[in-house]
Structures are given as structure tokens and as C-alpha cells.
Amino acid sequence: MFRLRVKMNNRAKLVVLIASTACFATIWRLSSCLSFAALEENKIDKWTDMWTKVKSCSCATCISDFTISFMKRYNRTVNPFLTPLENFTQEEFKWWKALQRENGDLKKFMEAKKRVFTMFPSKPDLTGPRLDRCRTCAVVGNSGNLKGSKYGSQIDAHDIVIRMNKAMTTGYEEDVGTKTTHRVMYPESAIDLDNNTHLVLFPFKILDLQWITDALTTGFRGQSYATVIPKIKANKNLVMVVNPVFMKYVHTSWLFSKGKYPSTGFMTLVLAMHICDELKIFGFGADKNGNWNHYWEELKNETLKTGVHPGRREYDLIQELAKQNKVTFLRGW
């Protein structure tokens, strides 16, 4: 009887050891294995040195490599993209619905979502970090600080280049480059895309989900607060719809609910940290004179700021991420 008890104890220890190893080996899922309360109470100090030495990709510095301060905000378990099986709590839907005073209910949202996935891929072709790969990304903002920066060739050297809304490249190639693999947009900022560019839709209301299906088929006939292009050109197989829950996660976990909601630029930056291994950021913040403007437009309003978005807080967070070596921030001046 005594011998049997010893064998069972040894097996139990082995199970615990295997489970612990599997859990900690997956660094980008660390937040699901360890509570942040334990981090704050310094209960895992003995593990810190080990985890900071473990690599999650083949880049010199990988975004998903473990650091305590970063993991307090970064949550790998949040799905960045909408899928057919995505469910929402009433609290999550209420937050999203308030962004632009949506009149529809959750049932109407689910109906629009169902139609989206009769046309577009149900799951984006994305995988997590791997030790044998280094996916380099450039997120190119629209700030006037890109003028004269001559970042063009550096931007184009990245595997993934993400641009936003109506950002122009023609005539600005030396400063902003020419390559675009992913274009972030919503109905009021839509443009035509070539057949190789991913359309990344940030939905701010149910109408946005209705627009994306109509704009690539029969044409959209609805109305919004601004002019909406009824039809656009884009590859249906490369459409990706951002998850409203992910948008809320950026607002609460990264900005601690500052401002009404995050800017599209900052949400794109956090999105890139979930799909890239190494990230460089261009064209964010005000220009050297403190003006918030677009690099392709003439500045007409020097009092223009960031509106409902917490621009100062977002800018400070970008600088903080750069100090942590999670991103490289090139401000243009």
C-alpha cells in the first residue's frame, strides 16, 4: 500500500511538471496561465529572468517576448478579428453601440455579421509567432511629420505595410513609400484597392457591416454622417473585419478608458502588435510645430487637435512602448 501511494505521488508530480512546462513555454499566452495579481505582488520574481531570455520568434526583439509591464496590457487571448462564432456580452455590445450612437440591437448586429461571413473568409490567414520566422511590420500613420522624412525605402522593406484610410502614396513616395499590404478603412474613409491588398474593416456601427457586403456586390444605398462610396474595388478573399471586442480591449486595457474611444491609428498599432513579430511605427503624433495634420493636405486649421480621441495619451504610450523595445518609433523630425 505504501509503495502504491509513492508511485501515484510521482505520477502526479510528473503531470504537474508537464502541465507547467507546456503552459510557460507558450509565452504569448502567458496571461492565461498567470494572474496579473501575482505579477503585481511579485510572486513570480524567480521566473522573470528565465522568461525574459526565452524567444518567441527569430527577430532580434520580438513583440510577444515576455516583460511584466507589457503583459499587464497585452492580452494574446483577445481575438483581433471577427469570426462567425464570435459572441458578445451585453456590456461589450453596449460599449460598441455607443461609439456612434447605433440604433440597432444585438440581433440586428448578428444578422449583419452572418451576412458578412457568407461572402468573406471566416478566419484570417494568420498564425502566431514562430521561432523560425520574423515577420516585420510597418504601421504608417498620416501625420504631417512624414513630410521630408525620406522614410519611403525603409517602410517598403517590411513584410507587412499597413496604411490607414485615404493615405496617399503617389507624389510622396520618397517619404512614405509605395508598398501597401493592408489598408485599414471604414465606409466614410473607403478607397479602391488593388487585388493584392487586404481590406481591414474597422466597424464602428452595424451600418459598416452592411456597407462592406453591399459595396463589393450590388452597391450600398444607405446613408451615414458623411458621404459613403457606394461601390469599391477590393479582393473579397482578403477582407478582414476587426472584432468590436478587440476595439474595447484597446480602450480599456491600453488607454484605461481615456477619451470616448481610441483613434483608428492607435487601434491599428495594437492590432499590428497582435499579428507581427517586429514593428516600426511611422507618421504618428503632431508635426514639429505641434500641429495635427495629414502629410498630403495643406494645413488650414492650426487649432485642430485629436477630437474625441485621447491623442496625448496615445502618443505617450507609443513612446513608452519604444522605451521597452517593443516597437521602434520614427517620428519624422
Residue 292: per-residue pLDDT: 77
The predicted-structure confidence for 189-200, as pLDDT tens digits, reads as follows 999 999 999 999
The Cα 114–Cα 85 span in angstroms is 10
The Cα 168–Cα 163 span in angstroms is 9
The answer to whether the annotation marks 261 as part of a ligand binding site is yes
Residue 127 vs residue 7, higher pLDDT: 127
Q: At what angle do helices 311-323 and 264-275 cross, to 10 degrees?
A: 30
Q: Mean pLDDT, to the nearest integer, of 40-55? A: 50
The answer to whether the annotation marks 225 as part of a ligand binding site is yes
Residue 23 vs residue 264, higher pLDDT: 264
- Residue 83 clears pLDDT 50, i.e. is over it: yes
Residue 89 vs residue 12, higher pLDDT: 89
Q: Mean pLDDT, to the nearest integer, of 33-59? A: 54
Residue 2: per-residue pLDDT: 32
Residue 25: per-residue pLDDT: 43
Q: Mean pLDDT, to the nearest integer, of 13-34? A: 43
What Cα–Cα distance (Å) separates residue 41 from each residue in 67, 181, 283? 15, 42, 38
Residue 36: per-residue pLDDT: 42
The Cα 273–Cα 279 span in angstroms is 7
Residue 56: per-residue pLDDT: 79
Closest CA to 62 of 127, 130, 155: 130
The answer to whether the annotation marks 195 as part of a ligand binding site is no
Lowest mean pLDDT among 30-44, 121-135, 238-252: 30-44
State the greatest distance between any 2 C-alpha atoms of the chain, in Å, as a whole number.
87
The Cα 93–Cα 97 span in angstroms is 6
- Tell me which H or E stretch contains 50: helix 45-53
The answer to whether the annotation marks 285 as part of a ligand binding site is yes
The predicted-structure confidence for 266-317, as pLDDT tens digits, reads as follows 999 999 999 999 999 999 988 777 877 889 887 665 555 555 667 788 999 9
> Do the beta carbons of residue 325 and residue 185 sit within 8 Å?
no
* Partners of residue 278 on adjacent β-strands: 136
Instruction: Report the percentage of the chain scoring pLDDT > 90.
Output: 60
Residue that has been written with the C-alpha cell 463589393 in this structure: 216
* Catalytically active residues, by annotation: 261, 309
Backbone angles phi, psi at 221, to 5 degrees: -120, 5
Q: Which residues contact residue 258 at a Cβ distance below 8 angstroms, ignoring those fewer than 6 apart?
A: 310, 313
Residue 194: per-residue pLDDT: 96
Instruction: Report the percentage of the chain scoring pLDDT > 70.
Output: 80
The Cα 152–Cα 170 span in angstroms is 12
The answer to whether the annotation marks 104 as part of a ligand binding site is no
Show the beta-strand stretches assigned E in 123-225. Answer: 136-140, 160-164, 182-185, 198-201
Residue 311: per-residue pLDDT: 78
pLDDT, averaged across the chain: 83
The Cα 76–Cα 286 span in angstroms is 30
- Residue 48 clears pLDDT 50, i.e. is over it: no
The answer to whether the annotation marks 219 as part of a ligand binding site is no
β 182-185/160-164 pair status: parallel
Residue 102: per-residue pLDDT: 80
Residue 82 vs residue 37, higher pLDDT: 82
